[in-house]
Structure 1
Amino acid sequence: MVQVLKEQVESAVKLYESVEDFQNIDKALKKIRNTFPDFSLQSSLVKVAVVNSLYNTNIFRTLDVAKHISEVVASDGINLEPDFVDKLSLIVLKSNGDDGKSKHYISFTSIFAHNFLSEKFPIYNSFVTKMVAYHLHEEAKKYGSYADFYHDFYMLLHSLDFKTTVSDMHKYLWISGEYRKFCGLKPWENPSQEINPDLKRIFLKKDDSTKNLLDDTVKDLYGPLFRE
Structure 2
Amino acid sequence: METALAVPLLRSQIDVANRLHQQLRQWKDTDQALEALHIRFPGFDMDSTLLKVVAINQLYGTQIYMVVPMARHVTEVMRAADGLEDTELVEQIAAFSGRKHLSFASKFAHFFIHMERFPIYDSFARKMVAHHLGAYGRAIGTTSPYKAFVENIERLKQRAALSCSNKELDRYLWLAGLYLLWKRYMDEKDVNKKKKLRMNAEVEALFNDLSSLNSAELAQLYPQHPEE
Please, what TM-score do these two structures have when normalized by structure 1? 0.84
Given residue 171 of structure 1, which amino acid in structure 2 is its aligned partner? Answer: R
- Residues 64-213 of structure 1 mapped to structure 2, 5 A cutoff: 64-77=69-82, 79=84, 81-92=86-97, 102-120=98-116, 121-137=118-134, 144=142, 145-184=145-184, 193-205=197-209, 206-208=212-214, 211-213=215-217
Task: Write the distance in 1 (CA, Å) between the matches of 2:99 and 2:162.
Answer: 38
Which runs of 5 or more residues in structure 1 are unaligned?
93-101
Deviations 1:41-91 (A, max 9, x none): 111000000000000111100011111110011123374521211111101
Q: 1:61 to 1:24 in 2, by over 3 A?
A: same
Number of residues of Structure 1 aligned to a counterpart in Structure 2: 209
CA contact (8 A) 1:91 1:105 kept: yes
Residues 1:143 and 1:214: Cα distance change in structure 2 (over 3 Å): farther
Aligned-residue RMSD, C-alpha = 2.4
Cα separation, partners in 2 of 1:80 and 1:115, compared to 1, 3 Å: farther
User: 1:99-150: per-residue Cα shift (whole Å, max 9, x none)?
Assistant: xxx1210001111111011112111111110000010015899754211111
Q: TM-score, normalised by structure 2?
A: 0.84
Tell me which residue corresponds to 1:217.
Answer: 221
1:162: Cα distance to partner?
3.7
Distance 1:78 1:174, change over 3 A: farther
Query: Which stretches of structure 1, 4 residues or more, deviate above 4 A after TM superposition?
Result: 138-143
Instruction: Report the alpha carbon displacement of residue 213 of structure 1 after superposing the two structures with TM.
Output: 1.1
CA distance in 2, matches of 1:44, 1:52: 12
Indicate the SS of the match to 1:59: coil
